[in-house]
Structures are given as C-alpha cells and as structure tokens.
Structure 1
Amino acid sequence: MIELIERATDFAGRTAIKSEGQSYTYDKLLEESKNVALTLLNGQKDLNGARIAFLVPASFEYAKIQWGIWRAGGIAVPLCEKHPLPSIEYVLNDTKASTLIFSEEFRPLLAPLFNTSEINFIPLSEITFQEGQLPDVQTHRSALILYTSGTTGAPKGVVTTHDNIEAQITTLVDSWKWNKDDHVLNVLPLHHVHGIINMLSCALWSGACCEFLPKFNPEEVYDVFNKGEVNVFMAVPTIYFKLIAHFKKLTPSEQESISNNLKKFRLMVSGSAALPISVLEQWKEISGHILLERYGMTEMGMAISNPYEGIRKPGHIGQPLPGVEIRLGDANHKPVQNNEPGEILIKGPNVFKEYWNKPKATQEAFTPEGWFKSGDIAVLDGDSIKILGRNSVDIIKSGGYKISALEIEEVLRKHPKIKDCGVVGIPDLEWGEIIGAAIVTETDNFDTEELKSWLHKKLPGYKTPRKYMVMSDLPRNVMGKVTKNNIKELFTTNQ
C-alpha cells in the first residue's frame, strides 16, 4: 500500500494541483491516475517493475502519470523536457523502458524513435476512462529512477523505493511543518528530487496545493505571489538571483506590494547549490525572510536542514534531519575531530536502493559499514554543518544542476577539430558555477560560435559550456594528468 496515494482519500474535495489556469482536486487525481494505471496494465494484473518513461510539462498531467505508474506496479522514469533526443535515448536504452507516455508538444522531438524503437509510445490524449482492478503494490518495491551525473561521466540511474520516498517526504513534512492549508508554487523541472519530493510530494502528502508554473519567469512568479494564495516557495539560488534583479527594476509601489505579500509567507527554502550570502541578505530585505538552506542529493532526498524555528546560519546547511544519520569522515571514513573537515557520510531509510544496473558503482558509493559517500566536504561549525566543497573537480554545480565534466568532455572530443579538452566549473554569483571548456584544436582559427551550435544538438542547454579557452596544450602534472585546478585559475584570472 503506497501511503502517499492512500492519504489522498482523506483530502478528496480539496485542491491538490493548480496548473494552466485549472484546479484539480485529490479525487480527480485519484480518478485520472487510475485511468493511467489501467491503460498501462492493459489487462495485466501488475507491471512488476516495468520501467515507464514519461515526457510531459510540469502540470497536473505529470502528477497523474507518476501516480498511475506507481499504482500499476511500474517504476516511473521522468524525462527532462530540455534534453535533446540523444540524452532521452540514453535514458530509454539504459532503463530498457517498455513504454513512453508523452504530451503532444514533444511529438516532433520523439518522432525519430517511433519506427526504430520497440518502446510502446502512448500519447497523453489516448488515456481515457477505464474500469478494472489495480494491484496491491508493496512499498519495498522500486518506484522511481532519476538520472544524476557522476565522476564516471555517463549519467547513472538512481533507484529509490516507495519506502525511500516516504522517508524522504515525512522527515520534511515534520521538520518544515507542512499542513493542508499550505500552497506551494513549483517552478522547477520535475526530473530531480527538489521539485518531485520537496514540493510536489510533500504538498500531496499533507493535503496541500501544489501550483505549477511550467517555465520560470520572474514577472509571472511575482504575479502569482500577488494573488495572496501562495505561502511556501522553494527554489535554487539562481532563481532568487533573477527574482532580485527583476524586483530592482520595479517601481517603489510595485516593490512595496510584493514585499507585503512575501512577508505573509510561511516558509522560503533555497537548495540544490550553495546560496551566496549576498543573495540571502538581499532577499531578506525584499521578503523579510531568511531563506532556509538545506542539503540533499538525488541519492538520498534531503539529509540536513537549517531549523524551521530557530537560528539559520548564512552559509551553513544546518543539522541532520530526523531519521537521518550523518558522519563527517576522513579518508578512511572514520569520524573526524570537531572543527576538522570531512566527507559527509549518510545512513537512513531515505538513502537510495541502487544505481540502475550498475552494481560496481553502487558498491563503490558506500563504505563497508554502509555509509553513503556524498563526495561533499564539510565541517561542523558549532552546532551547524558548513559545506566546504566537493572532493572531485569533475562535478560542477550550476543553477541547481549537478553536472559531470567528464560527460561534457566526451561529447567535445567527438568534434572533428578538437584534439583534447578540459571542462571545469567557474565560480559565478548568479549560477553558483558556470561551465568553462579549455580546448586544444586542430586549427588556429577555431570558431567557438560554430562549436556552440554543434553542441546545442548534442547536449541540453544547462550542460553547454558558457566560456571557452583555446590552448596549445592543457596544463598537466608530472604524470601527464590534466590539472583542472590550473584550468580553473586560468579562467578566473582571465575574466
């Protein structure tokens, strides 16, 4: 029994989701998700863990498909709207997805796959009223596969069970005081935990309302805020940066109206990347709120959070959430002394089950004692944890995304005029980091604009480098290994 879905009967007539100018009740979500489940089952008793991919905008349709897959006994594989076809194909092939549900606007993108794939493609419009019985899905079963970049280059599928998801939801509901009268505005893409768990699922667990704005636009966000319905907001630092920039362009009377509405909010959260203190301070001036910073990953949902009530330290991520064990470990994963930096290690029912079809990578992600190795270095500063950085230069955090430099390098090296390359994250106030590519080329007059156009067909926009540096050779150590810290220094000194 999936409690997240069972609880919806307690909130039957309440508004669960608002999207595209429409309001949908919990009853409607249950009815429509059952239709999705029965369409997928197509006479079977249980999907038994079949991977069902779906490509739809952030909307009521997203929620009903996700719930429908779960109610049929399948594993949900949400695809990113912004990904080019090769990225989508990678996920479909890696998961061996049996079915892909899509909305009409994605038909042109997916069309090349229709006649070359064994996948069953179901247009959203073909899901209609169905009658039948649904299976009893046990919560130890796998529920969701989300893709995250790792130091091995190719994205890995993070598998979470229904039990994992419930643990991730309930610790946040309790810690952040979610209740049925909350109304959250969700402006984030729904292919990672920030949007799926922290907002959509926590709202639906609580009987609250999740409102979708499919594409982020500062003016539209403020328009929604000014209606006076939203009282919870969560975003990545880049979004707060853009909201602040837009606010500064408004008239004093417009600013006053927005600030008065923001001061009525119950909770505002920032996450998925480090929050610059200057952004925190400017947002406090505008809204009257000190943003709640927290820490999590695709592999574990949220693990650490500043307090809902109490002192929130700028630049700190807070304390372990209830039910989550945290250790700061040395190179041998043993606890470090107070005020000593160590890698964040995590245990708890929130931690994922496995990387899809990657037993070696799964084993390497945990210590022999069962601690998940985050790869992030932190220090306990008083009673609050402060992130110092990553233990790998090959992970770039930009605009809330965790991006593998090695994945981008693999694509760059396929360009006929590129001999070698090194991709790094360059510190940036707005994005946290932007992607820089140092390239060694076959020609003296290399056209980076042509390269950008070429990359646009190979990578999603957020994985495309913003800065380029053409070099005769990459900096290397005595062993011949590229020294990426030197590349980062070259980018920062040449800015």
Structure 2
Amino acid sequence: MEKIWLKSYPPGMPTEIDTTQYRSLVQLLEESFHKFADRNAYVCMDKFLTYAEVDAHSKRIGAWLQSRAMKKGARVGIMMPNVLQYPIAIAAILRAGYTVVNINPLYTPRELEHQLNDAGCEAIIILENFANTLEQVLGRTQVRHILVGSIGEMLGAPKGMLVNFVVRNVKRLVPPFSLPNAVRFKDALSQGGGMKLTPVEVNQDDPAFLQYTGGTTGVAKGAVLTHKNVIANLLQTEAWGHPAMGGLAEQNVIVAALPLYHIFALTACAMWGMRVGALNILIPNPRDIGGFIKELAKYRFHMLPAVNTLYNALLNHPDFVHLDFSALKVCNGGGMAVQQSVNDRWRKVTGVPIVEGYGLSETSPVATCNRTDIADFTGTIGLPMPSTDIAILDDDGNALPPGQPGEIAIRGPQVMAGYWHRPDETAKVMTADGFFKSGDIGVMDANGYTKIVDRKKDMILVSGFNVYPNELEGVIAAHPGVLECACIGVPDEHSGEAVKVFVVRRDASLTADQLMAYCKEQLTGYKKPKYIEFREELPKTNVGKILRRVLRDEHTNEKKKAA
C-alpha cells in the first residue's frame, strides 16, 4: 500500500522502528533502572522514588510473588489509583515472569468478579480503600494471593502515618474489610528482602498485559498485549516525541494525572517515562482540580497527557492561569475527541497547543498522532506512527482512496495478539492481512492526516472511557421493576458524551431515583446513566430489535426544538 503520510513526517523521523533491540520489557526496564539509577522516577504527595529504589522495591515484590509458586505467565491484578506502589507492582510482576492485569479501582463487585475470573487472576495487589469490594467476590474467584497497600505506607514517617489516619478515620475512605490471608504491601517488601528474584526467560511474544476493554457485545475482553507490542509502542512514541523533546537539557517531567490502569497513561506516562528516564508526578485524585493544581505548582513540568474533559476542567479553575508553563513542551490529547474551543483556550493560557492522537487498548495504544512540533491544533488525529499502516475500509473490507469515509483499520507491531481466550471475537476485528478494525469511521486526506467523522459501533465515549450499551442494558434490565430498556450516548459539555437510558417500566411505581441508586451499586461511575426517561414503549424493527438510532435521532430533534 502507498504510505502517503510519510511525506508529512518531520525531517529525520524514522519510518520504521526496530523492536529487536530488546528481548522483553524486563530488559528495557532494567536498562533504565541502571542507566538512571540516581534520578527520581516517581513522586507522589511530595515523596520521591529514585530509579534505584523502583529497581530494589520491584525486585523484592517480584521475589515475594515468585515465592507463592505461581507458574510463568500467571495473571496478577493491580487495583490502585496513581500511588507509588503502582509502578513498583508493574515492574515486579513483569520481572517475576507474570502478566499484569490492570483493574479500575472504582469497579463494582460485579465488574471486578467478571474481570478476575475472565483473566484467571491468581494474585492481586490492591489498595485498602477498595479491599471491601474484593472481599465481596473473593470466594468466587481463583485469587489466592493478596497484597494490600495503603496510601500512606510509602510516604515515610511521620507523614505516612498521618495520611493513613486521615484517610481511614477522618475522611473514612477505607470501608471495613476482612481478607484473612492478605499480606500488607509493606510487609511483602520486607519479606522479599530475604528472598532472591529468580530471572525468568521471557520473550517478545509472551503476554505482558491483559488490558481490558469492551466490545460490540459489551462484555469486557482482555486485549493481549505482548512484550513486543508494548516495546514497539514505547519506541514509536519515543521517536515521535523527539522533535519537541529531543533537545531537552533537563530531566523530562511528566504529569501522570490520567489513571495508570488506563492504557493511555500506562504507556504515555509510566512505561514511556521509565524508558526515557523521566520523572512522573503521580496524581491519585485528578478530580480534585484544586489539589491537582497545587501539586503542579511545585514542579517545572514538560509533558501533560490528558483527555479533553481534564484540560477543560483545569482551564475552568481560577488558579490554573497562575502556574508556570515556561517548561511545557507537549500536551497530548487522547481517549476522546479534543474540542477546538478547549484547544484554543489551552493554547492561549499555556502557549502550547494540544497534540491530538488516536489509539485503543488493542493498539497499546498509540496508532496515530499529530506532529509534536505543530504550531496549532489540526482537528485531526494526525499521522500513522512509524512502522504503522492505516487503511480506510469500506463495508466489504476494501481499501478506500483519500477523501472517502470508511472504517479505520490499523496494522503495526503495537497491535494486540488477540483477545484473551476469545478467538471468535478476535476474528471479528482482525483482517487476513493483519489489520485491526477499530469500529471508528474516518477520512484520510491527501497528506495522510485522518479525521474521525463517526462511530460504527454503538459505543458511548464518556471522558475517554468506553461504555457499551449492551452491558448497561443487561444490568438495568435485571432490575425487577424494568420491563425493557435502551441506552444511547448524548452530547455533554463536560464529558463529551453522557449515558441516557430509556426505560419501559414493569412496576409503575419505579422512580428515576430508585433506578439511579441501583445503577450506582452495579456500575462504576462513568458508566452510570446521567439521564433516565420513562416511556410506554421503545421503537423496534419488525423482528423486535430495539432501534437505538431512532432514539438518538429523537433526542437530537428534541434538543433542536428546545434551542
């Protein structure tokens, strides 16, 4: 295929990357631990960890995990916000020869049980704030080994003790839990000091991460990201960032506000940061915009990856304009569409445009990105990364010429090996010649820039997180007062899209508040409906399939009339 985008590459940008220079992510990480040993790698709540400390701590946790006699490739979950234990846990699991399963810490018991069982997790590293959720499902999972951490335990005395006291007793953010066989993370660090981490022969084709994502069925599936997939994306993003970051005379400082369990931050912050010897500022709760800005005020930061909603929230806080942006080089936008208005305000305040990119869990994630040396926002998702092909396909799988809309398909070394134990689902999204079909509709111009124009799937995108109507409808329909329901995404100025559910009641006394409370128990925050509308009936095809498209059109027309 003709790679028309190469003519738009920055001068000196390699068209291909060499993934053979590392046997595994373990080799890549250990190289950084030694090369940057004296540098600070992570900071959280004013506590710094050097690369040497991440090296030592991950060896100890890795040795402790190996002492549990799990076989090579065993899946180990991490269920934490952005705290210092997270990068230690990632490195420990990989170095012990196991596979990382990132878990949203806000998952409900139902969601957690599904992911633990689907992945076959034998162990989990969890923050105590979420241990109550694990307790509720533990007996129905294969998890036998549990490490429980606390927010304060890595912060040193006396601060750590004070933080834990406030979190547990003042803010009451740790619901009571009973996990009798669990070991404290700090204790495992101590015990691991008396053990030896046994090197494991891991190669590029071994799974490094099971990164869970929804699908057209709405059932969360694990995208199998091999060591090669992630190595490739790290080398691709390193090369791509060079025009903006290559001449940096000081240590690169990255703001890690997006959750590390999400593929965007996992690669763009944690893994890429360790690759290049950067300092990651870990933000455990970016929803506290005031507290977030106070943390930013302490540092000269160079990179700030975020989603549109977070950029917008920062701009809307009065203290944000007072920060020092003199070191800022790159602001990566991903996860959801970046709005032109948000970029314009962002550039006016910071002097730096938002560099929008595109990717998915299935692509490790970065598939395309705008040049990092752009002067202003382009309104596109940019150009394919080195060693990456983008094809725009029609419904029959034929490649379309520039200017014609079709499904965006991606081929490259960062594309997943497949969905975990789901060959049928893998077959639905992979073409015979190795392209992954994204489900997004795009148009590529004559210069190789692609613009997303629509979504093929019924997926709803809430603040960069995928929400699948089938999952929500299955949960809501299980309520005894619901006869049937349908979910759609509607425009929302804060989150890009919000969930609206249309419900036909079985019980006439069912109220929206009751249904909202039920959804709160069953669904993590970003999946919960923002709007509930009761109806006597729902539009259907002649074979009884509910027509979400009709509901979307009706909602749009109502808004137009109201305007």
TM-score (norm 2): 0.83
1:293 and 2:364 equivalent? Answer: no
Query: What displacement does 1:77 show?
Result: 0.7
Partner letter of residue 258 of structure 2? L
**Alignment-derived partner of residue 215 in structure 2:** 150
Partner letter of residue 294 of structure 1? G
Distance 1:267 1:219 in 2: 22
Query: What displacement does 1:312 show?
Result: 4.8
Alignment length (residue pairs): 485
- Find 1:371's aligned residue among 435, 443, 448: 435
Distance 2:379 2:532 in 1: 30
1:161 and 2:231 equivalent? Answer: no
1:284 and 2:355 equivalent? Answer: no
> 5 Å matches for 1:242-261?
242-247=313-318, 250=319, 255=321, 257-258=322-323, 261=324
Distance 1:64 1:234 in 2: 21
SS in structure 1 of the partner of residue 478 of structure 2: coil
1:25 and 2:50 equivalent? Answer: yes
- Find 1:127's aligned residue among 165, 185, 188: 188
- Find 1:183's aligned residue among 230, 250, 253: 253
Judged with a 3 Å threshold, the aligned counterparts in structure 2 of structure 1 residues 350 and 312 are, in CA distance, closer, same or farther, namely: farther
**Alignment-derived partner of residue 111 in structure 1:** 135
SS in structure 2 of the partner of residue 280 of structure 1: helix
Moved over 6 A (4+): none
Q: CA deviation digits over 1:439-470, x for unaligned, max 9?
A: 11124443011111111111101101101111
Distance 1:29 1:163 in 2: 22
Q: CA deviation digits over 1:407-430, x for unaligned, max 9?
A: 000001101111111101101222
1:9 and 2:73 equivalent? Answer: no
Judged with a 3 Å threshold, the aligned counterparts in structure 2 of structure 1 residues 241 and 134 are, in CA distance, closer, same or farther, namely: same
Distance 1:100 1:218 in 2: 30
Root mean square deviation, CA, Å? 1.8
- Find 1:99's aligned residue among 123, 139, 153: 123
1:137 and 2:206 equivalent? Answer: no
Distance 2:267 2:431 in 1: 26
**Alignment-derived partner of residue 386 in structure 1:** 451
Distance 2:542 2:66 in 1: 59
**Alignment-derived partner of residue 481 in structure 1:** 545
**Alignment-derived partner of residue 472 in structure 1:** 536
Distance 2:142 2:401 in 1: 55
Partner letter of residue 187 of structure 2? E
Query: What displacement does 1:121 show?
Result: 3.1
Judged with a 3 Å threshold, the aligned counterparts in structure 2 of structure 1 residues 287 and 462 are, in CA distance, closer, same or farther, namely: same
Judged with a 3 Å threshold, the aligned counterparts in structure 2 of structure 1 residues 43 and 85 are, in CA distance, closer, same or farther, namely: closer
Partner letter of residue 271 of structure 1? G
Contact 1:396 1:435 in 2 (8 A): yes
- Find 2:418's aligned residue among 336, 354, 361: 354
The more displaced of 289-298 and 5-14 is 5-14
TM-score (norm 1): 0.94
Q: CA deviation digits over 1:29-65, x for unaligned, max 9?
A: 1111111111111175x73111111222312201111
Distance 2:368 2:139 in 1: 46
**Alignment-derived partner of residue 177 in structure 2:** none
Query: What displacement does 1:313 show?
Result: 4.4
Unaligned runs of 5+ in 1: none
Query: What fraction of aligned residue pairs are identical, expressed as a percent?
Result: 27
The more displaced of 328-337 and 473-482 is 473-482
Distance 1:32 1:73 in 2: 16
**Alignment-derived partner of residue 278 in structure 2:** 208
Unaligned runs of 5+ in 2: 1-23, 148-184
Partner letter of residue 140 of structure 1? D
**Alignment-derived partner of residue 85 in structure 1:** 109
Contact 1:114 1:121 in 2 (8 A): no
Judged with a 3 Å threshold, the aligned counterparts in structure 2 of structure 1 residues 114 and 168 are, in CA distance, closer, same or farther, namely: same
Query: What displacement does 1:107 show?
Result: 2.5
Contact 1:283 1:289 in 2 (8 A): yes
Distance 1:291 1:344 in 2: 22
Structure with the higher fraction of residues in strand conformation: 1
**Alignment-derived partner of residue 525 in structure 2:** 461
Q: CA deviation digits over 1:201-227, x for unaligned, max 9?
A: 111100111110100122223223322
1:227 and 2:298 equivalent? Answer: yes
1:339 and 2:403 equivalent? Answer: yes
Query: What displacement does 1:134 show?
Result: 2.4
Judged with a 3 Å threshold, the aligned counterparts in structure 2 of structure 1 residues 410 and 28 are, in CA distance, closer, same or farther, namely: same
Partner letter of residue 418 of structure 1? V
Judged with a 3 Å threshold, the aligned counterparts in structure 2 of structure 1 residues 319 and 311 are, in CA distance, closer, same or farther, namely: farther
Contact 1:241 1:279 in 2 (8 A): yes
Query: What displacement does 1:382 show?
Result: 4.2
SS in structure 2 of the partner of residue 232 of structure 1: coil
1:48 and 2:109 equivalent? Answer: no
Q: CA deviation digits over 1:296-335, x for unaligned, max 9?
A: 0000010100001135543211111111111111112222
Judged with a 3 Å threshold, the aligned counterparts in structure 2 of structure 1 residues 348 and 312 are, in CA distance, closer, same or farther, namely: farther
